[in-house]
């Protein structure tokens, strides 16, 4: 294209042309470099950038499942979900938190306790998660926020299904409650499964059946823009609701048992011997679980924690008490099974017992003694000396092994979270826990259910049900079946059972008859009824420890030093439909305090009008 | 005035040699066609980048029309007139830069605008043309290749407006103005030894320059070195634009289908980063087409420069052409991650009017140099 004729033939013209050609080359190379760079991005790294671009564009949103509901044996709803609107703040997106809160306060009431909860949840949660500032907004409040929301970036309305326990304190211990996932739980749970779910079962059945109740998280893939606004849903999978629970628990019986315990501290566990189903499980006093769902206020929680009656403590599965004389029928059966003694073999009770070569006197509860007694009378009168001697003859090893077959010393496996195992002492335990050998005198104390021997109310109830069953020990279950919403059939919770090894079934008859005699004419005769026959055993346990941190007040010391009253029973004797264990902390004597409570529950369950019971001074002992 | 003089001169040309309409309008066909092609192509990309906003595209078409008008007008001005006005225009430009620093409007944190009552005006844009004009005038009157003293004088002529623009602060324009002057010096035959020496000097002065940079400018350079250090802050532009380009692949995601662009991940997508929209939607192929058009324009400009009848014309046409190249290279280099982020638009494609007028005006001057064969009767 260069046409020399127009060019001046001067030197600067030639220099310029050289420079221009050089520049042209440079330009071509530079543009080629840019193209090479583009080729690297668009060809070599194309896949990488496609992935990044998709990650930008497509976000996975979790769809939390609906938690399963809980129904009692008769279909009464015990745990419900209701939609609640919350005012959520995503701290990450807020520029001036103070100003935002001040602005929101002009729209809705935000109390100091809301702010405290907000600060607490904020400290626990992740920065980019929305944290509720106010809960349970009214529809009017929701509308007010909706209109003004644009003024507050990072503020939104959240909808969540909140757990609600319509019967509150009646079910607080057995069902437990759900609450916000805390930091410690955050580390242990599967983050994917809980994405979008803020609540988790904290205690009781809610915790034990967490995996069943929770359901499966769903998701949706959405296309978002750079501001995070969802433009359209690409694909997704709906969440699967949690399964509903249907309980053995009969809320009417639960309420009757709670009423029977009244304002006394204690626990009652009632079991259907045929199924192992827990008909009632009461720990008294109780509390309202509903505030825990949203996060209970600090003062309210402190009041509950510092209450000397310890309402938060689930005595039914975590209270470990010396079982006292309630174990005598079990030990008596052990004597028969091992051939240590015959049912009619008698011992003389002078009111105290001494080991050979030892001056220590082991007292009977009755100062004058019971005279000559065989096993039936020993159980009916709760003769301590008889059982000191029987325990001595059995020895700790056989005593331990036989009681273990009734489930003492190990968790029953009840489906209520937090169960403790109690303590069934043995030589091995003495070595391990105390670094001391077993002393022969300790065997005697175990023989009357005292000393280191500890049992939980649910253990006593399960063992009593096994007695009623003539040896079939079933792991107690609160939950009878689970039910997938929409499905036709329920899925039953499988029974776990084992047998107490008793070869001669006549021995069951003998012990059960002795227990029936306890109510007919023995230490629990005040609860005798003509309507049905009750087999039972009273117990009185000296206070050692309640297995919890108790802070005694001066004025209450004497009351708190009193013995615990216990009673185990099942009825009707001929065809047992209910077995139960009652413990009243510092209640005094089992026969006068614990047995009448049991009778009221038995009446309620077996369909008899509550009887007027003799409430006079106790003349019967242990 | 100049045009009339020229036209009257044409009257004496025999009828067979009478120039066509284009020649009479002093337009260069290859340059005009490729510039119009570029504008059309740019409008297609812009239409997508603005989320198919006809209002914005209409405004841009209007601006293009205005800029083409300026091009047409400047093409009529005889190079001799430009030469005569070079020094006064340069002086007025520098004075306006001083005025901007004293009374200028602040837009986006920098003082760049001068409100002349009727229009708001960015004097720094004027300097992009005034500086090469001034240098071309200064050097063309002296023996070439220029002596070291003349080069030093030329450097001062470049440095004064550059520093004034740098103080606004506007790094992008400062670089372009320096570049426009330096291109003229280079084309004038500045010795390779001197070029090398200046390069070494510039490199050794880099720490001083670093000291003079504003924090946000330093941050841009740091982020360029490693965008991942601040993925949500200053690295965001670079990362998102590379994602846009890279995910486009060879053939692109298709017109209107760029997710990075339309879901607002790509910042400044209608202005400085429009090249990333093109890369995402039209792919490497689309970028290749764009680069080809740019290359044709630049090579045509260089050809015109080397064909010019005097030194002033050569230097001015060559300088204006190469500054156009600097625009292209700095913008595409920055968007593709080769260069740090400086505010330089993609010429004739980015949304916005100011640089459009300057660039088109430059093409007008180049065409004028090419079409005014006859010496201007001084």
> What pLDDT digit, counting tens, does each position of A246-271 carry?
999 999 999 999 999 999 999 999 99
Give per-residue pLDDT as tens, B347-373. 999 998 778 888 999 999 999 999 886
**Chain B residues inside the 8 Å CB shell of A52:** 243, 246-247
**Chain A residues inside the 8 Å CB shell of B279:** 38, 41-42
Give per-residue pLDDT as tens, A373-386. 999 999 999 999 99
Q: Alpha-carbon distance B291 to B306, whole Å? A: 22
Structure tokens at B320: 């204006």
Region A473-492: mean pLDDT is 91
Whether the predicted pLDDT of A159 surpasses 70 = yes
Query: Of A3-12, A151-160, B305-314, B348-357, which range is least confident?
Result: A3-12
Q: Does A1 touch chain B (CB under 8 A)?
A: yes
**Chain A residues inside the 8 Å CB shell of B240:** 56
Structure tokens at A540: 């009185």
Neighbours of A507 (CB within 10 A): 18
**Chain A residues inside the 8 Å CB shell of B249:** 42-43, 46, 50
Give per-residue pLDDT as tens, B58-102. 999 999 999 999 999 999 999 999 999 999 999 999 998 888 888
Sign of CA dihedral A106, A112, A114, A116: positive
Residue A70's φ and ψ, nearest 5 degrees, are -125, 125
Q: Do A38 and B338 touch (CB under 8 A)?
A: no
Q: Which segment, A597-611, B21-35, B320-334, B362-376, is predicted with the most confidence on average?
A: B320-334
**Chain B residues inside the 8 Å CB shell of A12:** 144-145, 188-189, 311
Q: Does A221 touch chain B (CB under 8 A)?
A: no
Q: Which segment, A206-215, A294-303, B167-176, is predicted with the most confidence on average?
A: A206-215
Q: Alpha-carbon distance A214 to A236, whole Å? A: 19
Q: B247 vs chain A: nearest CA distance in angstroms?
A: 4
Residues of chain B numbered 306-335 and touching chain A (CB < 8 Å): 306-307, 309-311, 314-315, 318, 322, 325, 328-329, 332-333
Confidence class for position B107, pLDDT limits 50, 70, 90? low
Give per-residue pLDDT as tens, B48-57. 999 888 899 9
Q: Alpha-carbon distance B255 to B278, whole Å? A: 9
Token pair 């005598």: residue: A328
pLDDT for B304 equals 94
Q: Do A11 and B144 touch (CB under 8 A)?
A: yes
pLDDT for A162 equals 87
Catalytic annotation, pick one of A325, A382, A426, A592:
A325
- Tell me the sheet residues that pair with A535: A570
Which of these, B267, B332, B11, lies nearest to A226 by C-alpha position?
B267
Task: Please state, rounded to an integer, the average pLDDT across all residues of chain A.
Answer: 87
Q: Do B259 and A56 touch (CB under 8 A)?
A: yes
Q: Does B284 touch chain A (CB under 8 A)?
A: yes
Q: Alpha-carbon distance B47 to B55, whole Å? A: 10
pLDDT for B105 equals 62
Q: Alpha-carbon distance A477 to B72, whole Å? A: 94
Query: Of A125-139, A158-172, B307-321, which range is least confident?
Result: A125-139
Confidence class for position A295, pLDDT limits 50, 70, 90? confident
More confident call, B19 vs A172: A172
Nearest to A31 among B295, B307, B322 (CB): B295
Asked if the bond preceding B145 is cis, omega within 30° of 0, the reply is yes
Confidence class for position A12, pLDDT limits 50, 70, 90? low
Compute CA B249 distance to the chain's CA centroid, rounded to the nearest angstrom.
Answer: 29
Q: In terms of C-beta density within 10 A (0-12 exposed, 13-18 middle, 19 or more buried), how is residue B203 classed?
A: exposed
Q: Do B299 and A53 touch (CB under 8 A)?
A: no
Kindly state the percentage of chain B with pLDDT values over 70.
85
Nearest to B306 among A17, A43, A50 (CB): A17
Which of these, A616, A609, A614, A606, lies nearest to A250 by C-alpha position?
A606
pLDDT for A553 equals 44
Region A535-549: mean pLDDT is 70
Region A396-403: mean pLDDT is 95
DSSP letter (8 states) at residue A610 = P
Kindly state the percentage of chain A with pLDDT values over 70.
92
Give per-residue pLDDT as tens, A318-365. 999 999 999 999 999 999 999 999 999 999 999 899 888 888 888 888
Q: Alpha-carbon distance A289 to A179, whole Å? A: 10
Q: B312 vs chain A: nearest CA distance in angstroms?
A: 11
**Chain A residues inside the 8 Å CB shell of B315:** 16
Which of these, B75, B305, B282, B100, lies nearest to B184 by C-alpha position?
B305
Confidence class for position B264, pLDDT limits 50, 70, 90? confident
CA end-to-end span of chain B, whole Å? 12
Is A275:A478 a contact under the CB 8 Å cutoff? no
Q: Do B247 and A43 touch (CB under 8 A)?
A: no
Whether the predicted pLDDT of B20 surpasses 80 = no
Confidence class for position A201, pLDDT limits 50, 70, 90? very high
Give per-residue pLDDT as tens, A420-462. 999 999 999 999 998 999 998 899 999 999 989 999 999 999 9
Structure tokens at B246: 């890279």
Whether the predicted pLDDT of A549 surpasses 60 = no
* The CA-based dihedral angle spanning residues A112, A114, A120, A121, taken in that order and rounded to the nearest 10 degrees: -160
Chain A residue with the nearest C-alpha to that of B263: A225
What pTM does this model have? 0.67
Query: Of A71-80, A110-119, B215-224, which range is least confident?
Result: B215-224
Region B279-285: mean pLDDT is 95
Distance (Å) of CA A560 to CA A268, A316, A499, A545, A557: 19, 19, 38, 11, 5
- Tell me the sheet residues that pair with A156: A88
Q: Do A31 and B305 touch (CB under 8 A)?
A: no
Whether the predicted pLDDT of B230 surpasses 90 = no
pLDDT for B8 equals 47
Q: How many CB pairs under 8 A join A and B?
A: 153
Residues of chain B numbered 168-197 and touching chain A (CB < 8 Å): 183, 186-189
Q: A223 vs chain B: nearest CA distance in angstroms?
A: 9
More confident call, B107 vs B279: B279
Q: A222 vs chain B: nearest CA distance in angstroms?
A: 12
Q: Do A39 and B247 touch (CB under 8 A)?
A: no
Whether the predicted pLDDT of B191 surpasses 90 = no
Neighbours of A19 (CB within 10 A): 23
Region A514-526: mean pLDDT is 93
**Chain A residues inside the 8 Å CB shell of B338:** 33-34, 37
Q: What is the per-residue DSSP string for A75-117? A: S-EEEEEEEEEEEEEEGGG-S-HHHHHHHHHTTS---HHHHHH
**Chain A residues inside the 8 Å CB shell of B306:** 2, 7, 16-17, 20-21
Q: Does A50 touch chain B (CB under 8 A)?
A: yes
Chain B residue with the nearest C-alpha to that of A15: B189
Chain A residue with the nearest C-alpha to that of B139: A12
Q: Alpha-carbon distance B222 to B240, whole Å? A: 17
Q: What is the per-residue DSSP string for B176-233? A: HHHHHHHHHHHHTT--HHHHHHHHHHHHHHHHHHHHHS-HHHHHHHHHHH-GGGSTTT
Q: Do B306 and A53 touch (CB under 8 A)?
A: no
Judged by phi (left if over 0) then psi (alpha if -120 to 50, else beta), residue A401 lies in: alpha
Is A405:A467 a contact under the CB 8 Å cutoff? no
**Chain A residues inside the 8 Å CB shell of B283:** 42
Angle at B105 between CA B103 and CA B109, to 5 degrees: 120
Chain A residue with the nearest C-alpha to that of B326: A27
Q: Does B241 touch chain A (CB under 8 A)?
A: no
Q: A118 vs chain B: nearest CA distance in angstroms?
A: 27
Whether the predicted pLDDT of A229 surpasses 90 = no
Region A284-311: mean pLDDT is 90
Neighbours of A546 (CB within 10 A): 18
pLDDT for B208 equals 81
pLDDT for B225 equals 67
Which of these, B231, B164, B184, lies nearest to B86 by C-alpha position?
B184
Q: Alpha-carbon distance A567 to A581, whole Å? A: 6
pLDDT for A132 equals 85
More confident call, B251 vs B235: B251
Confidence class for position B170, pLDDT limits 50, 70, 90? confident
pLDDT for B109 equals 53
Region A93-104: mean pLDDT is 84
Q: In terms of C-beta density within 10 A (0-12 exposed, 13-18 middle, 19 or more buried), how is residue A160 classed?
A: buried
pLDDT for A117 equals 83
Region A176-194: mean pLDDT is 85
pLDDT for B231 equals 62
pLDDT for A618 equals 47
Q: Alpha-carbon distance A619 to A127, whole Å? A: 66
**A551 labelled catalytic:** no
Whether the predicted pLDDT of A291 surpasses 70 = yes
Enumerate the H helices of B249-273 as residue ranges. Answer: 259-262
Nearest to A46 among B246, B294, B338 (CB): B246
Confidence class for position A192, pLDDT limits 50, 70, 90? confident
Q: A95 vs chain B: nearest CA distance in angstroms?
A: 16
Whether the predicted pLDDT of A548 surpasses 50 = no
Confidence class for position B9, pLDDT limits 50, 70, 90? very low
Task: Give me the interface pTM, i.e. the ipTM.
Answer: 0.89
Whether the predicted pLDDT of A555 surpasses 60 = no
pLDDT for A10 equals 53
Q: Do A20 and B302 touch (CB under 8 A)?
A: yes
Angle at A378 between CA A375 and CA A383, to 5 degrees: 145
More confident call, B184 vs A9: B184
Q: Does B302 touch chain A (CB under 8 A)?
A: yes
Confidence class for position A274, pLDDT limits 50, 70, 90? very high
DSSP letter (8 states) at residue A338 = T
Enumerate the H helices of B213-346 as residue ranges. Answer: 215-225, 235-248, 259-262, 274-307, 311-335
Q: A20 vs chain B: nearest CA distance in angstroms?
A: 6
Whether the predicted pLDDT of B5 surpasses 70 = no
Which of these, A257, A271, A315, A247, lies nearest to A467 by C-alpha position?
A271
Q: Does B244 touch chain A (CB under 8 A)?
A: yes
Confidence class for position A126, pLDDT limits 50, 70, 90? low
Q: Does A56 touch chain B (CB under 8 A)?
A: yes
Q: Alpha-carbon distance B301 to B308, whole Å? A: 11
**Chain B residues inside the 8 Å CB shell of A8:** 309-310
Region A381-392: mean pLDDT is 94
DSSP letter (8 states) at residue A218 = E
**Chain A residues inside the 8 Å CB shell of B328:** 31
Please, how many CA atoms are within 13 Å of residue A501, restricted to the half-sphere of its CB?
Answer: 6
Q: Do B247 and A225 touch (CB under 8 A)?
A: no
Q: Does A36 touch chain B (CB under 8 A)?
A: no
Give per-residue pLDDT as tens, B110-157. 556 666 555 566 888 889 999 999 999 999 888 878 888 898 999 999
pLDDT for B75 equals 93
Whether the predicted pLDDT of A139 surpasses 60 = yes
Q: Do A225 and B288 touch (CB under 8 A)?
A: no
For an interface test with B, which of A12, A93, A230 has the most B Cβ atoms less than 10 Å from its Cβ? Answer: A12
Please, how many CA atoms are within 13 Å of residue A371, restricted to the half-sphere of its CB?
Answer: 1
Q: Do B243 and A49 touch (CB under 8 A)?
A: yes
Which of these, A570, A467, A590, lies nearest to A522 by C-alpha position?
A590
Nearest to A42 among B260, B279, B333 (CB): B279
């Amino acid at each position: 294209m260069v046409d020399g004729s127009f060019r001046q033939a001067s030197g600067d013209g030639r220099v310029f042309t050289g420079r221009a050609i050089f520049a042209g080359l440079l330009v071509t190379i530079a543009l080629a470099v840019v193209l090479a760079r583009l080729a690297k991005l668009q060809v070599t790294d194309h896949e990488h950038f496609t992935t990044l671009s998709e990650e930008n564009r497509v976000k996975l949103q979790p769809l939390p499942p609906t938690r399963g509901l809980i129904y009692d044996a008769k279909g009464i709803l015990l745990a419900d979900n209701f939609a609640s609107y919350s005012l959520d703040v995503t701290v990450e997106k807020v520029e001036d938190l103070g100003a935002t809160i001040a602005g929101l306060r002009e729209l809705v009431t935000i109390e100091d306790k809301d702010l405290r909860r907000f600060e607490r949840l904020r400290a626990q949660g992740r920065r980019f998660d929305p944290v509720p500032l106010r809960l349970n907004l009214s529809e009017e409040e929701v509308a007010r926020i909706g209109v003004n929301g644009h003024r507050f970036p990072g503020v939104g309305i959240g909808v969540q299904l909140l757990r609600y326990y319509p019967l509150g304190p009646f079910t607080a211990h057995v069902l437990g409650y759900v609450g916000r996932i805390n930091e410690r739980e955050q580390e242990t749970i599967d983050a994917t499964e809980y994405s979008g779910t803020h609540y988790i079962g904290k205690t009781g059945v809610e915790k034990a059946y967490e995996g069943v109740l929770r359901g499966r998280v769903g998701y949706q893939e959405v296309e978002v823009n750079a501001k995070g606004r969802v433009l359209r849903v690409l694909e997704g999978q709906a969440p699967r609701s949690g399964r509903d629970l249907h309980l053995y628990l009969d809320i009417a019986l639960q309420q009757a048992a709670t009423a029977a315990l009244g304002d006394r501290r204690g626990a009652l566990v009632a079991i259907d011997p045929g199924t192992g189903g827990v008909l009632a499980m009461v720990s008294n006093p109780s509390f309202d679980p509903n505030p825990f769902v949203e996060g209970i206020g600090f003062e309210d929680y402190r009041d509950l924690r510092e209450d000397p009656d310890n309402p938060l403590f689930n005595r039914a599965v975590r209270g470990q008490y010396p079982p006292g004389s309630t174990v005598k029928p079990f030990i008596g059966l052990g004597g028969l099974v091992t051939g240590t003694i015959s049912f009619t073999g008698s011992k003389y009770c002078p009111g105290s017992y001494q080991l050979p070569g030892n001056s220590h006197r082991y007292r009977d509860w009755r100062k004058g003694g019971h005279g000559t007694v065989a096993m039936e009378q020993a159980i009916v009168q709760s003769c301590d000396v008889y059982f000191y001697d029987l325990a001595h003859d059995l020895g700790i090893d056989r005593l331990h092994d036989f009681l273990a077959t009734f489930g003492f010393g190990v968790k029953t496996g009840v489906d209520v979270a937090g169960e403790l195992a109690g303590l069934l002492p043995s030589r091995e335990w003495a070595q391990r826990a105390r670094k001391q050998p077993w002393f022969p005198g300790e065997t005697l104390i175990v023989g009357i259910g005292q000393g280191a021997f500890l049992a939980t109310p649910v253990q006593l109830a399960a063992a009593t049900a096994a007695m009623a069953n003539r040896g079939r020990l079933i792991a107690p279950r609160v939950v009878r079946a689970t039910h997938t919403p929409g499905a036709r059939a329920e899925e039953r919770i499988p029974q776990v059972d084992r047998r107490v090894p008793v070869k001669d079934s006549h021995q069951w008859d003998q012990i059960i008859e002795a227990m029936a005699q306890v109510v007919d004419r023995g230490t629990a005769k005040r609860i005798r009824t003509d309507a049905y026959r009750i087999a039972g055993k009273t117990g009185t346990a000296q206070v050692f420890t309640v297995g919890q941190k108790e802070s005694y007040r001066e004025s209450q010391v004497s009351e708190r030093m009193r013995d615990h009253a216990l009673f185990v029973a099942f009825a009707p004797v001929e065809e047992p439909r209910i077995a139960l264990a009652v413990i009243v902390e510092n209640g005094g004597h089992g026969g006068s305090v614990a047995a009448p409570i049991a009778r009221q529950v038995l009446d309620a369950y077996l369909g008899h009008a509550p009887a007027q019971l003799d409430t006079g001074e106790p003349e019967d002992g242990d | 005035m100049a045009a009339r003089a020229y036209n009257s001169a044409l009257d004496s040309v025999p009828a067979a040699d009478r120039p066509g309409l284009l020649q009479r309008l002093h337009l260069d066909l290859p340059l005009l066609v490729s510039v119009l092609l570029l504008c059309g192509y740019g409008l297609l990309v812009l239409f997508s980048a603005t989320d198919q906003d006809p209002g914005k595209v209409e405004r841009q078409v209007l601006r293009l029309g205005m800029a083409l008008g300026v091009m047409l007008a400047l093409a009529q001005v005889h190079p001799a007139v430009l030469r005569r006005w070079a020094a006064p225009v340069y002086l007025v430009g520098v004075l306006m830069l001083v005025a901007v620093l004293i009374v200028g409007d602040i837009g986006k944190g920098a003082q760049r605008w001068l409100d002349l009552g009727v229009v708001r005006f960015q004097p720094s844009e004027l300097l992009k043309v005034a500086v090469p004009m001034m240098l071309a005038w200064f050097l063309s009157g002296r023996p070439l290749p220029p002596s070291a003293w003349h080069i030093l004088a030329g450097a001062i002529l470049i440095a004064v407006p550059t520093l004034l623009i740098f103080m606004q602060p506007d790094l992008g324009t400062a670089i372009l103005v320096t570049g426009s002057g330096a291109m003229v010096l280079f084309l004038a035959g500045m010795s390779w030894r001197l070029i090398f020496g200046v390069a070494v000097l510039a490199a050794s002065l880099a720490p001083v320059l670093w000291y003079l940079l504003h924090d946000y400018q330093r941050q841009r350079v740091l982020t360029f070195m490693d965008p991942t250090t601040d993925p949500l802050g200053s690295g965001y532009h670079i990362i998102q634009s590379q994602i846009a380009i890279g995910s486009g692949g060879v053939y692109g995601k298709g017109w209107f289908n760029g997710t990075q662009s339309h879901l607002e991940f790509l910042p400044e997508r209608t202005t400085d980063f429009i090249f990333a929209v093109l890369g995402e939607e039209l792919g490497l192929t689309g970028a290749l087409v764009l680069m080809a058009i740019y290359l044709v324009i630049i090579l045509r400009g260089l050809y015109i420069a080397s064909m010019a009848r005097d030194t002033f014309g050569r230097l001015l046409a060559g300088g204006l052409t190469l500054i156009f190249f600097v625009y292209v290279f700095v913008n595409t280099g920055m968007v593709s991650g080769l260069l740090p982020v400086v505010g330089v638009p993609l010429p004739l494609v980015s949304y916005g009017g100011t640089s459009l007028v300057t660039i088109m005006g430059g093409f007008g001057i180049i065409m004028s140099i090419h079409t005014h064969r006859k010496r201007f009767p001084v």
